[in-house]
Structure 1
Amino acid sequence: MGRPSTPLLSVDLIARATLRIIDTEGSDAVTMGRVATALGVHTSSLYNHVRNRAALVEEVRTLVTETIDSSAFHTFPWHEAVVRWARSYRAAFARHPRSVPLLMSVPVRAPRVLSMYEDFTVALRRDGWPDEEIVVVLTAVESFILGSVLDMTGPPAMFDPAAHAAEFPAFTEVIATLESSATGVPTTDRAFELGLDALIRGLRAQRRALPQTARRTDRITRDGTRRKDARDHGEHRSR
């Protein structure tokens, strides 16, 4: 029996084809029909593997985020873990920056991504952040990371005031100074590290300003459920 003329479909094959379209044509190009054409199959064949476009987006999200390392949340103080996670997060999306608009359009349901959010949540709870602030902190950090990723997609010289130097002399001078003092490190990378440091400093200051809360530790009981143990804790360990 000969091989089929087209490769056997799978969720992974469909997701990778979709990601290639995103990388080369942008998020707006992603339709079920376009993906089917790229794979050389009928559109209806895709629905044997993915329910709809939203489900396909979640499979792409899993691919893009598969290299993000959230293990630091298990061993480091929350602020050090966030720094390590943020760098890993940015590096993963830097490989596929054009995926950001598409992934931002669909609620996160992918277990791979929810797993790292669980790590984030447990770490911040452990160090005393109140539950009502944790998603706010997460959103602030992610917004900063993804903004930096989008910044990386722009031209190397984003600012060009030369034609209006007389009107905007101060800004023109600092751009010239930046260009003449190039360190070899891209401005986007320097800006990311500067912004991340400022963000973490601000979050730590906010954490210290919050009322003292009980440190919570997840414990697994014999029946597999989680029990919250608490003991007095501020942020003294991670200041």
Structure 2
Amino acid sequence: MARPKSPLLSREQILRAALAQIDATGSLGLPKLARDLNVGTSSLYHHFKGGREEVVESIRGLLSSEGMPCEREPGESWQDFTRRWAGAYRTAFAAHPAAVPLMTAQTVSHPATLASYEVLAEVLHEAGFGDDELLHAVTVLDCFILGSALDAGSPVEVWAARGDGESRLARAIAAARAQPGDRAERAFRLGLESLLSGLSALLERDCAERVFG
């Protein structure tokens, strides 16, 4: 029997099917993935020799390459770049919140993802963050964005309102419901601006300490 002129299965096909499984079940199993694709499990290992871990990391790379910026725009301030970077990152990962716990359980190693983090690191370094603080700043942003991506996939009613209309939480829930737009998106913007203000204050403090000792 003649060999097919093109592969019957591509890496991207596998990743898209894996994402669909994660979206539906919150987990990833290679035997089930193989059944979904109507192939043997060995076919998956042919494309992903690292098995499940490589599939998960490649999903991270797929989402990163589709959303996370790898270039700073001319004249863009570090705050504006960080806003754009954080917003794109959140949008990409909030589309698949069930994948977030799987990705946070292993080391970030995909080249596309690391390239985007590298640009963020360069931008923050140029803004004034030294090596002793830079990774902490990146970590704070990363944790916040991933948490916000999970929040985007949470139930519409995150907190159950008590019947007591005088409850402060119940009043806050009612006020949030009355606001236009998406609650999770508004919370993300509030949190991001708070983080940027805090990082800016940290830079100003460090600058003052260098000048005045």
Counterpart of 1:36 (choices 30, 34, 39) is: 34
Give the conservation status (yes or no) of the 8 Å contact 1:83–1:196.
Answer: yes
Match of 2:118 in 1: 118
User: Could you say which structure has the larger radius of gyration?
Assistant: 1
Shift of 1:128: 1.9
Shift of 1:17: 1.2
Match of 1:209 in 2: 205
Q: Scaled by the length of structure 2, what TM-score is found?
A: 0.87
Q: What are structure 2's unaligned runs of at least 5 residues?
A: none
Match of 2:171 in 1: 173
Aligned residue-pair number: 207
Match of 1:10 in 2: 10
The aligned runs of 1:134-213 (5 Å cut-off) are: 134-163=134-163, 165=164, 169-179=167-177, 182-211=178-207
Match of 1:61 in 2: 60
Give the conservation status (yes or no) of the 8 Å contact 2:68–2:92.
Answer: no
Match of 1:93 in 2: 93
Q: Scaled by the length of structure 1, what TM-score is found?
A: 0.78
* Per-residue Cα deviation, 1:195-233 (whole angstroms, up to 9, x for no partner): 11111000000011114799xxxxxxxxxxxxxxxxxxx
Give the conservation status (yes or no) of the 8 Å contact 1:73–1:82.
Answer: no
In the alignment, the residues of structure 2 paired with residue 13 and residue 110 of structure 1 have an alpha-carbon distance, to the nearest angstrom, of 18
Shift of 1:71: 4.6
Give the conservation status (yes or no) of the 8 Å contact 2:70–2:115.
Answer: no
Counterpart amino acid of 1:31? G
Q: Which has a greater percent of strand?
A: 1
Q: Which has a greater percent of helix?
A: 2
For the residue of structure 2 that corresponds to 1:13, the secondary structure is: helix
CA spacing shift, 1:177–1:95, aligned 2, 3 Å: closer
Of all paired residues, the percent bearing the same amino acid is 35
How large is the RMSD of aligned CA atoms in angstroms? 2.4
Match of 2:102 in 1: 102
